[in-house]
Structure 1
């Protein structure tokens, strides 16, 4: 694996990531969430042509603890071949929505706690690495003792110590023929000191990059940026940085502004589940009032009826007669071939095709968002882009305006 920083704007950076498979793409990049290596509602054959950047996926090894077993995945030739997604990047990430705090100290000495198809269980290092080695991912994250921000100071220190020790153990269990593909985990919960200590320890290991864990677990949003910055300041500049749990547009911008290169996100899928289509503007040079003229509201066509310049509710009766695409000018499969009225009818008939078409558009639009971020960094206008984006989201009523972070130079 090779990673090179190509451009900087503040701490935001554009990098080039070349994997051992030969696949190469730019960062900051979105890792699309999968279940057992497959997209949730998009057929694999459609994923191939969804977007030029739709080649990076994230999966959890915990899906291969029981069904199918790691031995089945290994026999198939790894998760790429099992899911028929050769030519894609597959990143294995161990992540639990509750963190390991509920397991307690005794359990955390044995391994980390995860929710599985058969309930919550403790996953030890040997079992975890058995699954990782069977899956043959392009990149994999070491097993974290990840805890939420509210744990006591003693438990947080133990989390940092366990994570560092487990990193060494995971490295010793990786298959040598696969090369250096490990992203060492950085934890620390709500303590800046422990995050710095965890990062310092991870930085001394022979890893391909780093994964910042413990975010998206109820931490103070106003303090999150400081925790990202403190950890990243202790990491080498020439290695890849990944974060888990930060997926909304504002969270993505916050993470990229701190220097993150890879992010996963369930945001497109969550909108799809709510029958919402992503429509927010992406280019600073397009005034908000002209972002999509076909979507301008009339007196009886407002937010209550499903209208918003940020997203639209396709179940609304408003779109039962709307023959325009989801976003005018969008080049995704859905917008080029279908209209709001068609998707509205599919949704109201409970047709599964509606979810597929919505998810294709939402994923495409979000990948275009990441592309716009990279272009702003290349033009050294990331701060301006972030300020514009946050301001127009405030104008749309999507969020309240927070403090725009200070501009700092790239490490």
Structure 2
């Protein structure tokens, strides 16, 4: 008792370690964390060789950290305590107004931007004479929702960088500036729904994720189609096809684990189609419906980031008898909710994700003809993606 009175914190801490260690022995190991949206470290296989090279101990430490009993609860407790202290940033995510989260983005890779612009120029030089090419870089949420950002953050001026990229592109390509489009869309959404919280059906960017919403993607689609002199489907015509997926905690939440985060609602349109093939395999649905019930719900759009997706339909409002119009969309994950809208303006929609393209771009361009090519990337991905180089192969 004297020792307990003299060193209470030390005794309690030792007891805590013993109890949690014993309890940890009887808890089953998890492979995936729904809260963090990632696979957890599993027990590494022991070998004296790895131990000698100091490879085993770091792996085992990661394993213990990931599999610690009650990990989700400890993460929540950390978030609660930090909020109580007034902290507005965690793990690169900043907490804004109306429950919005934003990227803390004060530096960018200028060299990568320069390289990617060069790769696109090479693509334009190869194919821009016979095929109209449009390049569009999507502003990420903090650039557009700046009124919801904490004061004095001093993030990178996305629009200035985007304008510089556009000025350096081969003149044979057209550019589509989405900054004013997104700002008008946000203003329109606020007008239609003055109480923007929760307002999930009128948001242009998600609160807890880095993507634009389906509505944001629609506004960009309409701007692109109008720039090509074609007819776009009206939003009102799509409303009967809409359904909603609740409980979406996106990539920003997965980084910061804010305990008071308000989940997003994903809007999906059940757009009709004749066929959809992904890397040669035919699918029966436009989206992966099984993803609507798991944590990474956004991965359900268009079955995720696959190499080559081809959608054929009879939706085309611009269809000419006896002709088949095709559009090629070269995109990142922002393009997944965007692509289905294109079925209303082209007979065939070809979608490429360079991260997993199953063939050379040169082969695809030689074997097929396209009425339009749209290169669509979000700003932060454009500034970091090393796969744009595959556009030139």
TM-score band by shorter chain is: under 0.3
TM-score by length of 2: 0.26
Radius of gyration: which is bigger?
Answer: 2
TM-score by length of 1: 0.25
